[in-house]
């Protein structure tokens, strides 16, 4: 089994008093238009007991050996955490040059999508949570969408469910949203030019860079599948078919040219003209349904952020089709206990945490989907009253039957965090889903395409790559956004003045499929309930329980005595070598702090 790859970016930049902006207000923001042919101008990672290995993978395997984040440089401009040290350095340099959190997030996101090309890229999509200098919080959805020719029976033939078609190959490809989303954020909030923000990524792709630990592990773990895709094999395998190793140089000249087209013409450089035509031709020519018209019609969406109070903090996250509401539901269950008194690694705390996770994932399976296609009762699911009701059902010494979690069941990833000194913050998560996405690459543009169609519920009771089961709310439909585990989060306390960081500001997010939710939750608890700094909170051992399958994954840092006690209470305890990768950036007591997850060789800088 192999963990899926998702890239995550979180940025925090000097934030002021928070105000949520609703989707109607946000919709008036300037968004990119797609009209010109700019081509001539020339732009999960790890293993988990919950993850199914897509065909062609070489698992099982362990995550790359953990490495400490680079030393943090203490200056006044802010903090950046990313899933590659070089990407974090690029974001820090943008802050030093006068860019704000959004500038740094965009430059870091483009850079990490080159450096960790197996995890994210402009062939994918994501979510971005932004807090501006006035304290207003914005939610930007640039999740991929199903092509216009998609339908609910796309992966069925008679009574047979063809699940693998949604996991690998051309039918797994959804309409990418990455470029449109980053451009929408840039137009509304950035200070620096598009060319300045893309220049570092273009240089990396054009001139090359040494393969990092994470990318090397993904190449080795997927060598068989890469060998079956000549375009990818030419980039990531040696002439004898063996995987390229850590430290070997790699270049992406075609991708550099596509990024140059985006730098010159914005979203038009990707969604119209010869880049779009080349991508559509590659997908259509191999049996997929993505068209140039699908690309031309893609638009990001400004949405209303979700918001709860937790232990004196205001906690903000993305609404559906993100799983941010699931994390808030879990917080509301946990809010009624003194977690610090229980102890961070005690069986009592871990049992309570696992039970809260089960409730959240059970409700995710039934209710969550694209709000344009289904009604998600997110206000009820994230209410304090519902959290109290769920907490009252938890037994202190035993698990419940699976049917008792959440509401009654229906019958039928890279992250970057940035904070700055000007009152802004960004938490941004992007992905192409599993490692190397659909294993489909357009060689002319250099774009590796996502396999986000696997995030739909392709049939009742049929799990996706991550073992997640969905319901009718997440069924396949043309133009629909699939439910996502990506959960960027911001939390703040105190009463700051406009244009200055608040007394406490936290930006957190992660990668790893459903592990994102549990890993982000536990990092947030470490920061708020247990008083840890960013690096300690990110590095602390984690657990994961997603309700189905009924297993409690624990990292090796959870001692054997605690594991035995959890098993006595009814948990099916499994040691997992990877529990997601989290990036966190904070501002506390006048100091910036940041941490990239050592589980994925992440990096962090403060400027």
Residue pointed to by tokens 């895709």: 229
| Cα gap 2→47, rounded to integer Å | 4
Instruction: Please return the burial class of 408, using the count of CB atoms within 10 Å of its CB with bins 0-12, 13-18 and 19+.
Output: exposed
Mention every residue, 6+ apart, whose C-beta is less than 8 A from residue 80: 11, 88, 91, 92, 95, 104, 108, 416, 417, 418, 585, 594, 604, 605, 606, 607
Q: Which two tokens stand for residue 203?
A: 């240089």
| Dist CA 331 CA 357 (whole Å) | 10
Would residue 562 be called left, alpha or beta, if left means φ above 0 and alpha means ψ between -120 and 50 degrees? alpha
* CA distances for 309 relative to 197, 263, 331, angstroms: 35, 40, 9
Active-site position among 413, 414, 523, 586: 413
Distance between CA 277 and CA 40 in Å, rounded?
Answer: 13
User: Cα separation of 540 and 531, whole Å?
Assistant: 12
Residue 557 CB neighbours (<10 A): 11
Task: List Cβ neighbours of 313 (8 Å cut-off, separation of 6 or more).
Answer: 491, 492, 493, 504, 506, 528
Known active-site residue 413? yes
Residues 353, 151: Cα–Cα separation, whole Å: 38
Neighbours of 472 (CB within 10 A): 15
Instruction: Tell me 81's DSSP state.
Output: E
Please provide residue 264's backbone torsions phi and psi, each rounded to the nearest 5 degrees: -80, -35
d(CA 493, CA 474): 35
CA-based end-to-end distance of the chain: 39
Structure tokens at 366: 């039934």
- Integer Cα distance of 125 and 144 in angstroms: 5
Catalytic (active-site) positions: 413
């Amino acid at each position: 089994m192999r963990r899926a790859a998702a890239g995550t970016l979180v940025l925090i930049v000097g934030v002021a008093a928070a105000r949520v902006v609703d989707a109607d207000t946000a919709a008036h923001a300037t968004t990119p238009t797609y009209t010109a042919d700019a081509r001539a101008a020339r732009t999960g990672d790890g293993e988990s007991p919950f993850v199914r290995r897509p065909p062609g993978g070489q698992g099982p395997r362990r995550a790359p050996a953990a490495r400490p984040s680079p030393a943090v440089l203490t200056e006044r401009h802010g903090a950046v955490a990313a899933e590659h040290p070089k990407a974090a350095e690029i974001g820090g340099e943008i802050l030093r040059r006068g860019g704000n959190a959004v500038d740094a997030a965009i430059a870091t996101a483009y850079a990490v999508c080159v450096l960790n090309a197996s995890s994210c890229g402009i062939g994918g999509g994501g979510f971005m949570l932004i807090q501006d200098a006035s304290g207003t919080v914005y939610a930007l959805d640039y999740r991929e969408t199903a092509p216009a020719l998609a339908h609910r029976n796309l992966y069925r033939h008679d009574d047979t469910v063809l699940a693998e078609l949604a996991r690998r190959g051309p039918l797994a490809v959804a309409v990418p949203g990455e470029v449109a989303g980053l451009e929408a954020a840039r137009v509304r909030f950035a200070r620096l030019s598009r060319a300045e923000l893309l220049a570092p990524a273009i240089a990396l792709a054009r001139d090359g860079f040494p393969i990092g630990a994470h990318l090397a592990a993904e190449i080795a773990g997927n060598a068989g599948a890469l060998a079956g895709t000549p375009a990818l094999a030419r980039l990531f395998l040696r002439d004898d078919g063996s995987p390229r190793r850590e430290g070997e140089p790699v270049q992406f000249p075609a991708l550099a040219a596509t990024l140059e087209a985006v730098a010159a013409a914005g979203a038009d450089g990707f969604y119209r003209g010869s880049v779009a035509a080349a991508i559509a031709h590659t997908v259509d020519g191999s049996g997929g349904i993505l068209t140039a018209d699908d690309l031309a019609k893609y638009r990001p969406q400004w949405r209303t952020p979700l918001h709860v109070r937790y232990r004196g903090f205001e906690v903000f996250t993305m609404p559906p089709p993100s799983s941010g509401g699931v994390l808030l539901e879990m917080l509301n269950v946990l809010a009624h206990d003194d977690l610090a008194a229980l102890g961070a690694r005690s069986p009592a705390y871990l049992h309570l945490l696992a039970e809260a996770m089960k409730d959240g994932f059970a409700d995710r399976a039934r209710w969550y989907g694209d709000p344009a296609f289904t009604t998600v009762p997110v206000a009820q699911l994230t209410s304090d009253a519902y959290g109290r009701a769920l907490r009252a059902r938890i037994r202190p010494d035993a698990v419940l039957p699976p049917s008792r979690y959440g509401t009654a069941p229906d019958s039928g990833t890279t992250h970057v965090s940035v904070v700055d000194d000007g009152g802004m913050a960004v938490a941004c998560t992007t992905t192409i889903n599993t490692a190397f996405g659909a294993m489909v690459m357009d060689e002319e543009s250099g774009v590796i395409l996502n396999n986000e169609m696997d995030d739909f519920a392709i049939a009742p009771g049929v799990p996706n790559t991550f073992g997640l089961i969905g319901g009718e709310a997440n069924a396949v439909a043309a133009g629909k956004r699939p439910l996502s585990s990506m959960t960027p989060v911001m939390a703040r306390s105190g009463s700051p003045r406009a244009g200055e960081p608040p007394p406490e500001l936290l930006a957190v997010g992660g990668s790893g499929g459903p592990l994102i939710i549990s890993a982000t939750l536990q990092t947030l608890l470490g920061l708020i309930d247990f008083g840890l700094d960013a690096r300690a909170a990110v590095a602390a051992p984690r657990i994961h329980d997603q309700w189905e399958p009924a297993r409690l994954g624990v990292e090796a840092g959870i001692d054997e005595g605690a594991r035995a006690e959890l098993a006595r209470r009814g948990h099916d305890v499994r040691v997992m070598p990877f529990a997601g990768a989290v990036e966190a950036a904070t501002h506390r007591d006048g100091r910036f702090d940041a941490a990239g997850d050592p589980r994925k060789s992440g990096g962090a800088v403060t400027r």
